[in-house]
Structure formats: structure tokens, C-alpha cells
Structure 1
Amino acid sequence: MSKLPRRRLLHRAALSATAAGAARAGLAGATPAVVATAAVGGCDSSQDRENDPDPRGPLRFPPGFGWGAATSAYQIEGAAKEDGRGESVWDTFSHTPGRTRNGDTGDVAADHYHRYRDDLDLMADLGLRSYRFSISWPRIQADGTGKPNQRGLDFYRRLVDGLHERGIAPMATLFHWDLPQALQDAGGWESRDTAHRFAEYADAVFRALGDRVPVWLTINEPKTVVQNGYLWGHHAPGRQDPEATYLVAHHLQLAHGLAVRALRATGQAGRIGPALNLHPCYPADDSPEAAAATRLYDGYENRLYLDSVLKGAYPRDVLADLGPDSRLAAGISDGDLDVIASPVDLLAVQYYTPIYVTAGGDTTRRWPTSEADWQQIYPEGMYDILTRVTRDYGRIPITVTENGLPCPDRLGPDGTVDDSGRIDFLRDHFAAAHRAIADGVPLESYHVWSLLDNFEWAEGYDQRWGLVYVDYPTQRRVLKSSAHWYRTVIRDNGL
């Protein structure tokens, strides 16, 4: 790969990754001329909206709309060495000095593995209609291969049964970044074999749980694995290898397609699709150069993943930019794109931030950021990305599987947590989603990130994203103001 594509790849990843930790790695590498000053916002309510009527009036969502919340296994489960669970890349990464803030790990996290029944009761108290969670691959196959661990499958069976008992629809994600370390040692996502091992793991999970899970998501945010794990190196496995980056993307997409085919082969009736973090990309100015740079940037951010799954081809401009000798081009075998484009039933969209692209292909900020420096607060981006998907790819059913922001939440003297800024944030994003539905987007459900405060990857426990406050020393759960507000939204099916 030439120096020019490598430089472009580094620029493109600078502010695009949605996982926490991008602030420290990405912004450190950006020049002051590129990254504009932006005020931190979002968590301090700008007005007392609890007392003021919403000027939009009541907004009601379609009957049966799936209001939910989301989590992931490594971020909440804990029990890292119990009941046959193997080591994941995130166990290795978080235990490596200097990789996470304060040296935090997911060894205990929110202790959900032991407290899942209480957490299920919290979900029922909130009135959740859907719960999006992930299954830990190393809890099912300690080394990523072989006979599945029955104790791991039993845990998820109990969780799924508990959801059904409370009238909550399970939405299970097969991979949320916790690759078994043994597979990483054998090449990780640079190895084509890992995609096939993933299909075998998926098949085992489908056959054990498929009769009880109505919706499956394959790979969570492949782009974050690609950019944060292999380009910047501030997520597991901690690589900085631009040559490998988009070969990894191809194998993640291939794993997705193989998992879709594995579900179909079981005869299970569940629906399946990918979970993609999508960033609406906008030109930073009105110049033709900015428009052209934005189009290519969008190729790396969005179309690389959308086009391959929904159109059966990688974007030509991205392939040309990488060059004919790239490892991505060399890694595509006959039939791969047919596998990747295996028909899906829905698309999971995760929206956190827009991206503004300059004529030189760099990025700039336009809106206030949250405590996560990479996150610009722009609710209109939710409308734009949802309508764009429907416009460009047809009326595939959509679920929002992540949207939220971190706030400096603290327990007050009265034992409550006032996060009114999070309420404002969610209200504005819900309203944008409502407008998208009114304009023809087939949006079925919306999952707030996150149900619980949790281990926020490279940021450890410094950032709190949850509707529910977790007091980590005691593991006590406290509903924040946003949770009480969300309960009302769900009850009323709208704002």
C-alpha cells in the first residue's frame, strides 16, 4: 500500500470510530487546523423541559413499536473465569498495562452474570418491549472451536426464558467484539478461517436457542473492529496495521454472510441481519472538492458495509482508493460477495454522531460534543441516516439498536440520579426517528444505549451511558431520571 492511501486511512479513522477511546487515540492524531473547537454539551439540560410542553406536540409511534434497551456481554456480565468461559481478546487487552483508563477490566463489570434476574426485573419495571444483548463467544466455545460449553448455553437460555416470562422480546447479537483469544493467536480476523469458525459457533447457538430468539444480529459494528482494533490500535486486539485493516473488514463481512446461511440451514424461523454503526457524512463547505472527499469518506464509513450486504458489491471508489494490490482486493475469493449478500430480514442501525469532511479529506467539528469527544450531538443525523438507508437500499425493516450518550452521573443526597440532559438528548433523537417513520422509513424498534452503566471499553468505568446507575463497589442499581422518563415514553408509545 502506498503512503498516500495509508495517510488517507489514518485521516478517515481520526474522528469516525463510535466506540469510547477514540477521543484519546483519534483526536491526539488530528491537527488543530482540522479539529475545530467545540463546546461539551448534551448532559446539562438547557431548559426545564419537564415543566415546558414540547412545542412539537404529542408524537405517537406505530402500534407495537419495540421500545428497548441494549447491552453487550463483556461490558456487563463479569464472571470472566466462571463456568468454562475462555479468554477473549478484551480480557487480554484490558489486562495489558496502559490499554484502558485506570487499568479497568471487565472481570466483574456490572456482575450481570450473577444478577441477571434482578436486571430482568428492572427491564420489566421499565416496561421494555425488547432487549438487545450479546452472547459471549468464549463463554460458548472457550477456544473458539469445538463442542459448545453447555454451562454457557444454559446461562443464555435462562436469560432468554426470563425475558419471555416478562413479556420482553429477546434480540441476540452473536459477536460484540469478544473474539476468543485462541483464535486471535491463530490469526484473528486477518485469517479467513476465523469467519468459518464464527459460522460454526453461530450454528451451535442457533440450534440451542433459536426456538426462543425471534431476532438475531450477526456482527456488531464491524467498522469499529476495523478502525479501532486494527488501524488505531486503541481497542482489542490493539493493532496498528493499515495493510491488514480492510482484509479484516472483508472477513467480518464474510462471517456475517456465513452466519446468515447457517441460520437458514437450521430451518429456524428467526429473523437475522447485521448491526452497523452508520455515520451521516456531510461536506464541511460548498466546494466540489469537499463534496468529492465526502463521497469517498462515506464509502469507507457506510457504503463498504451497506453495499456488500445489501447490493453484493464493495464500492468501486473505495476499491480504487485502496488500490488493486490491497489485501482486501487479494482476499476476495469467488463467491464471497454472494455469501456476504445472503438475504437478510432486517438492518440494525446504530447512530451516535455525524462526520463533516473537508476538501482535503480531513474532518472537522460542527456541533457540541458529549463527554465522549468523538460524539457530536446532532439529532438531525438520525433522520438523515434512516431516510438515506431507505432511499438508497429499499424498504428493508430497520431497528435502531444503539443510541445514547455518556453523562457525569452522580448519586444525589436523596439517592437519585438527575440526568435531565440525557432526557433531552433522547427526546430529540426519538423525535427525529418519528419524523423518519412519517416519511416512510420502516423503523420497527429503538434500543437505548445502554440499559446499565458498564465497562466502556478503553474508557473503563469513567463514562456512564446507562439508564440505570450502577454503584460498582456494591453493584446496587438505581434508576436514573431518564429511566423514569423512558418508562413513560414506553407506556404512552411516544412523546
Structure 2
Amino acid sequence: MTQALPPRSQLSRLSAPDAFWWSTGIEDTFITAPHPVTGRTLDEYELTGHYDRWHEDLGLVAELGVPCARYGVPWHHIQPEPNTWDWTFPDETLERLLDLGVEPQVDLVHYGLPAWIENAFLHPDYPKLVAEYAGRLAERFRGRITWYTPLNEPRITSWYCGRLGWWPPFRRSWPGFVALMLAIAKGMVETVKALESVDPEIVPYFVDATDLFDTDDPAFEDEARRRQEVVFLALDLVSGRIDERHALWPWLLKNGAREADLAWFLDNAVALPVIGMNLYPMFTQKKLLRDAGGRFRIRMPYAGADLIIRLGRLYHERYRVPLMISETASMGSLRRRLNWLDASIAATRQLRQEGIPLVGYTWWPMFSLVTWAYRQGRRPVTEHLAEMGLWDIVPDESDPLRRVRTPAVDIYQQLVRGGIEAVGMLMEASSHAAALR
């Protein structure tokens, strides 16, 4: 079939030789299902106090000078019941960003769904429900907001919901993973259709985690290749690339997909105007190893910025569309974070010099996030804070969620003002700032 192209005006923005968007974002994982033992949920906006501090937090976004920001809206608050809609939070927050001159890149679904959607992504009406929600939001901001992420990290969502069983609907198998992936990808396609029916100027921004699988053990080479193909599965599904010739076709059928399921995506393929790559030096590199007992395991060594080079080339070769780094950061000391900022931006510049259209960079999260272990743990939220941001959250007696500016803010501001080609001039400055901590 012939895939429709995105509107020319938006396509030209993404394809312009000097196109580059600096961005940031606030972690917005929303897991509404209570943990069966602790009873805890995982709503990052609640845990970091963003629901109460959104006005000030969005002011910090604008302080960076970024032209755009990834920002999630909580579907579970917007539609707390099937026939109840409350647009107060997105109306206030998205208007605030627009008033500040920051273009929202709206995250529609970030892992979790409203609790009333039984069986979560496997509810038979899920694609219709998510498309209705997306269309209603797009209608409220028609002509004013044109960037929407249909669903953040479909592969990770399918993994935690379908393979690990940590999140609804709690499946624990490869067939569970495949079932989740098919349902999620169908929801993404229906979301894109709904968005574009409201406003053809909308840019669907497809964001997924971008793991690299390697092995030095010949016995695991086939497994590494298969897992690397699975990294691309969601994008391949929604863009109509999976037929009998695809490397995963037999594996998908073996794990419960029907040929009719896969044919649906061929008949309903949507374009990929821009792809977002979520990548982290502490998570993205996956090494397949044999443990002392001869069993298969995966290790995640801390990676260098060459992973950005490799991923950029892989995605460019496969999809030939503009790319963005939609999430990246390092965890830990300011020195480590700034070293990663230097190295990752240098890698971004190298890819652009190679002619690969890497058109954006997002430091994520803007301030500390709460680790996912909080949901199944019992320690207070302040003991689950991960220092990954430009601002830290540093509790004190008067404010347990106090935002504390680091020197990384000034450096990021300089990057935004100077542009991607000026990155070399900032290496010395960021190294000096890191030495302060």
C-alpha cells in the first residue's frame, strides 16, 4: 500500500538542513494499579509534587530556553470514569507552556491507563478508547499543538505488562508480550488516525526505547539478533513493514500472532514522520552472557556515547526519517551527568556531520525522578529519588521535594542559545562545572 506523507509544512520543518530542537521533559510514568503487596501506585507527578508545583515547574522548563518540551498528560485524571471527562489539568498546563513560548510534545500514554479499563491494553475496546481520548485532546488544542506521542515506549510497555507481569494486565510470557505489542500498536495506529482527522498538521512523534544487543558467545548470536529485531517491532508494525519476509514473522506466529492480526497493520499502515530514540548509558547496552552455571543472562554495562552513533546509523538505515534523541541522561553525580551531556552531544553532532538527520536532543528528566522500585517497596519516596536531572530534588525540613538548581542548568542554557554546532566550546565549561561537585 502507499503510505500517506505528513503535511508538507511539517515535513519541511523536520527536513530543513538546519533543523534542530532542544527539549526537556518531566518524568510522567503513571501506573494506576496498586501493587498487590504494598498497595502503592506509581504516579510520578504525584510523587514528585508536580500536580501542586506545575506552574513553577513549567517555569523551569522555560528558563532553559528550549523551544519545545515533552510533557505527559494523565489520562487517568482526565477520564476517571468511562463517561466523565475533566480537562482542567491539561488545559492549565498546556496553556502555560504555550504562554511561555514552549511547544508541547504531548505524551498521551506513558505506561499506565485509567483503572476502569479492565484488562488494560488487552481490553477489546482499548484502540477505540485511546483514539477517542487522543482526538478529544487534539480538538481542544487544534491549530496550536501539533506534536503528539501516541504512546511512549511500546516495547517497554509490552515487556512490563506482558513478559514480566509487573503492570496490568500482568502477563508473564512471550505470547503475553506479543499480545500486548499487537494491542498497543493497534492503539497507536488508531490514535494517529484520530489525531490526523482533527488536524492534518499534527506530527505523530513515535518514541521507543532503543536497546543495543551484543554477545561474544556464538551460542547466543541468534538470540541477540532476534532481540535486536524486537527493538524495532512496534515501529515496524505501525508502519506496515511486517509480512512473510520479515525476520520476526515465524517468531510472531509461534507466539500467538495470527496472520490476520499482522495483515491488519499492512492495510492500516501510518507514516513515521519522526522517530524518538530513548537511550541511557546505564540501561541501553545489553550484553548476552553465560553465567557460571551455563545459563543465559543479560548484563547492562555502562556504555559510552558510541551507542548513540550505532543507534543513529541503525535507525537511519532502517527508516530513513528524521530522528530525535527523545530521552537521555546519566544517573548519579553532577560530574557523571555532565560528562554524559558532553559525550552525547558530541555524538549527536558527529551523526549530523555524517548526514544523518538527527534533529533534536532531550535531556530527560529535567529534575530527579522516583525510581519504579517505589511501587513495590516500603521506603519513603525521598529514598527513591534518582539524580538524573538538571535540577535535583533535595529534601529539607521545610520542603521534602525542593528543586535545587545545578550548574547543568547554565550549561544547557548555553547549548540551547549556541546551537548544536557550538557544542565544542562548552566542553571545557562543563568539565569545570563537574569538578565543582
TM range (shorter): 0.7 to 0.9
1:485 to 388, 411, 416: 411
Residue 350 (structure 1) aligns with: 278
User: Do the aligned partners of residues 349 and 107 (structure 1) sit closer, same or farther apart at CA in structure 2, a change above 3 Å counting?
Assistant: closer
Mapped contact 2:109–2:152 kept (Cα < 8 A): yes
Q: Pairwise mapping of residues 227-376 of structure 1 onto structure 2 (< 5 A)?
A: 227-285=159-217, 287=218, 289-300=219-230, 302-313=231-242, 316-324=246-254, 326-329=255-258, 332=261, 334-339=263-268, 341-352=269-280, 353-357=284-288, 362-365=296-299, 374=300, 376=302
3-state SS of 1:478 partner: strand
Q: Which of 84, 99, 102 is equivalent to 1:168?
A: 102
SS in 2 for 1:176: coil
Q: Tell whether the 8 Å contact from 1:277 to 1:349 is kept in structure 2 after alignment.
A: yes
SS at structure 1 position matched to 2:112: coil
The Cα of 1:63 is off from its aligned counterpart by 4.5
Name the SS for the 1:273 alignment partner. Answer: strand
User: Post-superposition shift, 1:290?
Assistant: 4.4
Deviation at 1:357, TM superposition (A): 3.4
CA–CA separation in structure 2 for the residues paired with 1:105 and 1:251: 23
Q: Percent identity?
A: 19
Please say if 1:429 is aligned against 2:369: no
Q: What is the distance in 2 between the residues matched to 1:474 and 1:383?
A: 39
Given that 2:192 and 2:204 are in contact with CA atoms closer than 8 Å, whether structure 1 keeps it comes out as: yes
Select between 482-491 and 352-361 the one with higher mean Cα deviation: 352-361
Letter matched to residue 69 of structure 1: T
Question: How big is the shift at 1:160?
Answer: 2.2
User: TM-score normalized by structure 2?
Assistant: 0.80
Q: How does 1:24-423 map to 2 (within 5 A)?
A: 63=18, 65-74=20-29, 90-94=31-35, 96-98=36-38, 106=44, 108-143=46-81, 145-146=82-83, 148-151=85-88, 155-183=89-117, 185=118, 187-285=119-217, 287=218, 289-300=219-230, 302-313=231-242, 316-324=246-254, 326-329=255-258, 332=261, 334-339=263-268, 341-352=269-280, 353-357=284-288, 362-365=296-299, 374=300, 376-394=302-320, 396-407=321-332, 419-423=334-338
Q: Using the alignment, how far apart are the partners of 1:74 and 1:225 within structure 2?
A: 11
Distance 1:404 1:375, change over 3 A: farther
Verify the 8 A CA contact 2:27 2:364 in the aligned structure 1: no
From the superposition, tell whether residues 387 and 438 of structure 1 become closer, same or farther in structure 2 (CA, over 3 Å).
same
Residues in 2 aligned to 1:122 and 1:107: alpha-carbon distance in whole angstroms: 15
2:26–2:366 CA contact under 8 A, matched in 1: yes
**Correspondence for 1:86:** none
Is 1:441 the counterpart of 2:356? The answer is yes
Aligned to 1:13: none
The answer to whether the 8 A contact 1:283-1:358 is kept is yes
What's the offset of the Cα at 1:475?
Answer: 2.9
Separation in structure 1 between the aligned mates of residue 354 and residue 361 of structure 2, nearest angstrom: 17
* Distance across 1 between alignment mates of 2:98 and 2:403: 22
Deviation at 1:110, TM superposition (A): 2.0
Distance 1:435 1:363 in 2: 33
Q: CA deviation at 1:484?
A: 2.5
| Partner Cα separation in structure 2 for residue 283 and residue 197 of structure 1 | 41
Any stretches of 5+ residues in structure 2 without a counterpart? Answer: 1-16, 375-380, 424-437
> Which moved further from structure 2: 329-338 or 225-234?
329-338
Preserved contact between residue 110 and residue 152 of structure 2 (Cα < 8 Å): yes
Contact 1:215 1:270 in 2 (8 A): yes
Decide whether aligned partners of structure 1 residues 484 and 238 sit closer, same or farther in structure 2, where only a CA change above 3 A counts: farther
**C-alpha separation between the residues in 1 aligned to 2:176 and 2:161?**
11
> Per-residue deviation at 1:265?
1.1
Q: Determine the C-alpha separation between the residues in 1 that align with 2:220 and 2:342.
A: 32
Determine if contact 1:68/1:446 at 8 Å carries over to the other structure: yes
Question: What displacement does 1:434 show?
Answer: 1.3
CA–CA separation in structure 1 for the residues paired with 2:239 and 2:175: 26
| Equivalent-residue separation in structure 2 for 1:403 and 1:169 (angstroms) | 19
Q: Would the aligned equivalents of 2:161 and 2:180 in 1 still touch at CA under 8 Å? A: no
Alignment CA distance shift 1:306-1:148 (3 Å) = same
Q: How far off is 1:304 after superposition? A: 1.4
What RMSD, in angstroms, separates the aligned Cα atoms of the two structures?
2.8
**Could you list the per-position Cα deviations for residues 165-192 of structure 1 after superposition, in whole angstroms to 9, with x for gaps in the alignment?**
3222211111001211111x2x222233
1:203-254 CA distance string (max 9 Å, x none)? 1111112322121111101111111222123345544244322111001001
Cα separation, partners in 2 of 1:232 and 1:181, compared to 1, 3 Å: same
- 1:399-427 alpha-carbon deviations (Å, 9 max, x no partner): 211111221x5xxxxxxxxx111000121
- Report SS of the residue matched to 1:348: strand
Cα distance in 2 for residues equivalent to 1:382 and 1:99: 38
Check whether the contact 2:368–2:388 (CA below 8 A) recurs between aligned residues. Answer: yes
* Equivalent-residue separation in structure 2 for 1:476 and 1:117 (angstroms): 14
Whether the aligned pair in 2 keeps the contact of 1:221 and 1:277 (CA below 8 Å) is yes
**Aligned CA distance change for structure 1 residues 99 and 239 (closer, same or farther; 3 Å):** farther
Deviations, residues 238-281 of structure 1 (Å, cap 9, x unaligned)? 44244322111001001111111111211341211321111122
Q: Quote how far apart the aligned CAs of 1:74 are.
A: 4.4
1:469 aligns with 2:392: yes
Residue type of the alignment partner of 1:456: T
Q: Which moved more, 1:216-225 or 1:192-201?
A: 192-201
Residue of structure 1 in register with 2:11 after alignment: none
The runs of at least 4 aligned residues of structure 1 exceeding 6 Å deviation read none
Match of 2:430 in 1: none
Answer yes or no: is the 8 Å Cα contact 1:310–1:393 preserved in 2.
Answer: no
**Alpha-carbon shift at residue 135 of structure 1 (Å):** 1.3
Kindly indicate whether the alpha-carbon contact (under 8 Å) linking 2:33 and 2:167 is maintained by their aligned counterparts in 1.
no
Counterpart of 1:91, as a letter, is T
Q: What amino acid maps onto 2:324 in structure 1?
A: T
